[in-house]
Amino acid sequence: MALWKISVKNSGYDACNDKQQWIEKGMFIETSTRSSMSPLDINRERPLLARLFMNKYGIEIDPNRMNESYFKCENVRI
């Protein structure tokens, strides 16, 4: 199992479901995967990542925008 930290690279607005919400640089979530691939590279993992941001910060993030352009993914532990 791998432990991942996914954090916001830059502050700005994210549009999801016609809502504009402010996301702050440094906001992060942690998740584990069975794969050694980044969860941002696995399409089926993105909705889970978006839900984790919703649970922790109360912000909706479009799963389709969950990529390396906006988020930094670090492998904390393998």
Beta bridge partners of 72: 7
Q: Which residue has the tokens 């912000």?
A: 59
CB 29 within 8 A of CB 4: no
Q: Report pLDDT digits (tens) over 22-33.
A: 889 999 999 998
Confidence of residue 3 (pLDDT cuts 50, 70, 90): very high
- Whether 16 has a pLDDT exceeding 70, the answer reads no
User: Considering the entire predicted model, what is its pTM?
Assistant: 0.86
pLDDT of residue 57: 94
Percent of the chain at pLDDT > 70 equals 92
